[in-house]
Structure 1
Amino acid sequence: MKVVLSILLIALLHSCGVQQKLSASHKLSPGMTKADVETIMGSPTKSDFRKNVEEWHYCKTGMSADEFLALFFYEGKLIEKLNYTVTLADTRGATGSCEKFIKMGNYREPDIVVEIRMR
């Protein structure tokens, strides 16, 4: 009986999905380093690198939709953040880890990088 309950508990916890704290993204600002961002947001669910731009993705599963945060770094500095949602309708009813619904971008290097320094 204990084995059955243990298996059911593990299955229940496994199905809870990903619960990253996307609300902390308001603390992010352009120019932050990857280390600064990771301190605030934790490790990304998925990352990718294209040319000189690195993408980090965070996600939070929900009952009817998953929430996502995409962060873009150029030369190790945060240059943009993008929030988006994927609903059950978008996935045609498919559920599971939000990692499989991440939208990887075709982000390109910026034409110009402006550095803002606080005095």
Structure 2
Amino acid sequence: MYRILLLGIFIILSGCGSLDKQSILVNAGDTKEQVLNIMGPPDDRQFQGKNEAWQFCKTGAGFGYHDYRIFWFFDGKVTGVNTYKSTRPGVSCVTDIKPINWEDAPDVTLEIRKR
């Protein structure tokens, strides 16, 4: 019985921070395919022109919060990542996904060359 309890606690705690462990592998300039390979399918996708935002969520393993990551894309490439948490109790973290505020999107730097 003691071993089963320890195994259960280990499994619960091993899920903690998995968004941190995954999202640290994503870099600016990565493609959507690279993000899919690292993070899996997003829980939410929103578009505006060439801008796109993917949201991922994970329940904090019973610690009373939901953890979120927003990956920002411009023209199919990662331009930045934002995080937020929700402490509202709920069945699923998907219920607290926020609508994207496009003013929060990272600025896109364009290279200007003289001809």
How high is the TM-score relative to the length of structure 1?
A: 0.68
User: Quick check: 1:65–1:87 contact (8 Å CA) kept in 2?
Assistant: yes
Tell me whether 1:58 sits opposite 2:56 in the alignment.
Answer: yes
Structure 1 distance, partners of 2:30, 2:46, is: 18
1:1-119 to 2 correspondences below 5 Å: 21-22=18-19, 23-62=21-60, 63=62, 64-88=64-88, 94-108=89-103, 110=107, 112-113=109-110
How high is the TM-score relative to the length of structure 2?
A: 0.70
The runs of at least 4 aligned residues of structure 1 exceeding 2 Å deviation read 108-114
Bigger RCO of structures 1 and 2 (CA < 8 A, at least 6 apart): 1
Match of 2:102, SS state, is coil
Q: Give the CA deviation at 1:104.
A: 2.3
Uncovered stretches (5+) of structure 1, i.e. residues with no partner: 1-18, 89-93, 115-119
Structure 2 distance, partners of 1:71, 1:100, is: 18
User: Quick check: 1:21–1:41 contact (8 Å CA) kept in 2?
Assistant: no
